[in-house]
Amino acid sequence: MNRLFHRHYVTTLVVNLLLFITFYLLNASLPLLAAQQFNVSQSSLGWVVTAFILATVCSRPLIGHWLDRYELKRMLLLSATFFMIVSCLYLIVLPLESFSLLLIIRVLHGFSFGMISSSLSLSVTTLIPPPRQGEGMGYFVLSMNLASVLGPVIGLTLIAHDALVWYFVTIALLAICSFSFIWRLPLTSSHVTSSAPFRLRQSLFLSSPVLLLATVLAGIAISSTSAFISLYADAMDHVTYASYFYGLAALGMVAIRPFAGKRFDRRGPASVLVPSYALYAVGFLVLGLFPTLPGLLFAALIIGIGSASIFPGLQTVMLTYAAPAQKGKAISTFFLAYDSGFGIGAFLLSGIAAKVGYSNMFLMCSLVVVSSGLLYGYFRRSTSLSTDQNIAS
């Protein structure tokens, strides 16, 4: 039976939405809250996000090893429990008024987020019928895209109304709800668990370095719109329309998802990834060449349509290329590459924008997208495994 939208699959979509609302809510608004509540320098505020990202990156190899060594449901419940406990720790930040404590919680939260996001991404593949993996993963990633719009809106709204207690209560409630849904998932692993000890190199899936590099470059491109659109809009005196950019991008993602997912499964990854890369690059060209409000909004729609299938597409190709006993490390290594690209991009692109301006920075991002697409094309031609036929069959 190839039914996709059954109860347990939909549950994973809801959990993923809640997790990434938490992620985007905190990363978009917590630095602002910290600036209001703590007397610290601007560079110190940067660690509110950096500490989280670094901890997430460090967790990926470990969780990849654990997913291949231990039973899937146990690891998912352990990750969800850890994530829930750390999320509730935010409630003590305001009473204790300690910026150092906040950074410690951010490190723990980042590590737990890396664990639960990797575990859930592997779990959802067991709930999707094999002929519909591309479509199923597409909707799964779409829940992340929607969270990127909802999270910042919720966080900034609560701060704007000085509802700081409710801000951290919301974080705790999102984690508690996620745990309650995860508890009900009937998950089984399809691989034989390994008893091998942890070694960093052996805990990473390095059989497809070209595909990993393509993922790093995709992460760099995605970080540019996540981190700099509001600043770009402000430079154009249209800062109030920055939220419209994310809304239109989300609209493009939602609109293309049903068609792209089915095409991915029926005709293979290249039939979706190649035009997606092309549209994504064009979107950055429009964003850089037309620094006006119409250009900003039109670019948002193109970027939304183009980027919607790149992340789930590369992820599905990676999982298809991995043997069943290596899927845990494959999913964690994929996220490690993406997180690294996202972190590197946010750091490097800020310096580039300071020197050449946001318009030229976005034009450079179009080259980054093209480079990622070329690397995927090289991987597809060079691999001995016919990934397209594997998935389409």
Can you read off the two tokens belonging to residue 358?
Answer: 């946001």
Query: Distance of CA 77 to CAs 119, 324, 385, Å?
Result: 9, 21, 34
**Can you give the pLDDT at residue 393?**
44
**Can you give the pLDDT at residue 387?**
43
Query: Distance of CA 114 to CAs 8, 33, 48, 52, 120, Å?
Result: 22, 23, 16, 10, 10
Q: What is the pLDDT of residues 212-234, one digit of tens each?
A: 999 999 999 988 887 778 778 87
**Can you give the pLDDT at residue 208?**
75
**Whether pLDDT at 44 is above 70:** yes
Helix (H) or strand (E) holding 292: none
Mean pLDDT over each residue of the chain, to the nearest integer: 84
Measured CA to CA, the distance from residue 216 to residue 336 in angstroms comes to 9
Measured CA to CA, the distance from residue 206 to residue 297 in angstroms comes to 39
Contact 299, 287 (CB under 8 A): yes
Can you read off the two tokens belonging to residue 265?
Answer: 């499964």
Kindly state the percentage of the chain with pLDDT values over 90: 32
**Can you give the pLDDT at residue 392?**
43
Helices 327-356 and 358-382, packing angle to 10 deg: 150
Measured CA to CA, the distance from residue 380 to residue 233 in angstroms comes to 38
DSSP string for residues in 42-82: HHHHHHHHHHHHHHHHHHHHHHHHHHHHS-HHHHHHHHHHH
Measured CA to CA, the distance from residue 275 to residue 363 in angstroms comes to 19
Local structure of residue 126 (DSSP, 8 states): T
**Can you give the pLDDT at residue 389?**
47
Measured CA to CA, the distance from residue 171 to residue 34 in angstroms comes to 15
Can you read off the two tokens belonging to residue 16?
Answer: 């993923």
Q: What is the pLDDT of residues 1-16, one digit of tens each?
A: 577 788 888 999 999 9
Query: Distance of CA 327 to CAs 62, 131, 193, Å?
Result: 14, 18, 11
Measured CA to CA, the distance from residue 49 to residue 29 in angstroms comes to 10
Query: Distance of CA 252 to CAs 106, 245, 247, 248, 306, Å?
Result: 32, 11, 9, 6, 8
Would you call 32 helix, strand, or coil by DSSP?
helix
State the Cα torsion 36-113-124-308 to the nearest 10°: 50
φ/ψ of 187, rounded to 5, equals -110, 140
**Can you give the pLDDT at residue 388?**
47
Q: What is the pLDDT of residues 157-216, one digit of tens each?
A: 888 888 889 999 999 999 999 999 998 887 665 544 555 555 545 545 567 788 899 999
pLDDT (average), residues 297-321: 88
Q: What is the pLDDT of residues 76-102, one digit of tens each?
A: 999 999 999 999 999 998 888 889 999
pLDDT (average), residues 122-129: 84
